[in-house]
Structure formats: structure tokens, C-alpha cells
């Protein structure tokens, strides 16, 4: 399911019908799932992670790493045009929100300079409920 922008729901009420209440809270209202509860937090399965709302390919398992933060972490998106960034000054801190570029759904946040041994020194901290995993065989 990779929906084009013309096939996407146009109103929040249409999104509410398409998504479960928990998915709607995170994807459309920028909520955060509880740490260490998401289905992909510790997953090692190889494949492509897609936006749960529209099916757009966002991340690959090749860029997923163990950050032990409670959410799936990636050091880069599949391509920069797959996500968009919004400055988020909520909760008394400066963060950068990550959204799906195709459907504008909330995915999580990106942090940098935390000292992880990754090629980009970035951690895309993404809610499991914002993703689906399409496994691939090696």
C-alpha cells in the first residue's frame, strides 16, 4: 500500500476512520507511544520500514541500530525526500520533529551529537506505531 497524495484522506475525520485510535494519536496528533512498548523497538528483521498511514518507504533495516532508548532508532532515512522536518519547541526543549513527506504524519524526532557510533551521528527516534515493516529475504 503506497498511497499517492491524491489517494490520501483529506480531513482529520477521514484519517480517524482509517487509523486506530492509538495510530491516530501518534500519526496525526504527534503523540508518542510509551518507551519499550513498540513492536519494532528490538526487531532485527531485515527489510523496509514504511509509513503506517500511507505506505511510503521511509527507512531500511540497514540503518537501524540499538540505541537502547525505547524506540526504534535509525541513523538516516531511505532518502532525504522521504521525510520532512519541523522545529519542535514543546516540552521545554528544542527538538526536530520528523514527518512523512508523503502524508505529513508524525513519525518521531531526530537528534544529533549524542555520540552513537553511526555514520551520521544522528538518531531518528521513531514510534513503532508510525511504521510497518516489509521483511526481505537475504
| CB distance 38 to 72 below 8 Å | yes
**45 CB contacts (<8 Å, ≥6 apart)?**
61, 133, 135
**84 CB contacts (<8 Å, ≥6 apart)?**
98, 99, 100, 101, 104
Per DSSP bridges, beta strands 83-88 and 95-100 are antiparallel
Q: Has 54 been annotated as catalytic?
A: no
> Which residue numbers are catalytic?
125
Amino acid at each position: 500500500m503506497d498511497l499517492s497524495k491524491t489517494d490520501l484522506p483529506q480531513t482529520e475525520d477521514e484519517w480517524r476512520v482509517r487509523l486506530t485510535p492509538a495510530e491516530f494519536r501518534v500519526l496525526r496528533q504527534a503523540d508518542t507511544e510509551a518507551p519499550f512498548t513498540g513492536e519494532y523497538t528490538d526487531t532485527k528483521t531485515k527489510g523496509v520500514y514504511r509509513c503506517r498511514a500511507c505506505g511510503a518507504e521511509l527507512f531500511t533495516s540497514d540503518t537501524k541500530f540499538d540505541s537502547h532508548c525505547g524506540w526504534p532508532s535509525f541513523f538516516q532515512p531511505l532518502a532525504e525526500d522521504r521525510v520532512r522536518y519541523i522545529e519542535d519547541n514543546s516540552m521545554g526543549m528544542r527538538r526536530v520533529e520528523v514527518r512523512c513527506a508523503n502524508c505529513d504524519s508524525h513519525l518521531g524526532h531526530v537528534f544529533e551529537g549524542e555520540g552513537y557510533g553511526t555514520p551520521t551521528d544522528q538518531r531518528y527516534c521513531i514510534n513503532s506505531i508510525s511504521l510497518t515493516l516489509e521483511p526481505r529475504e537475504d
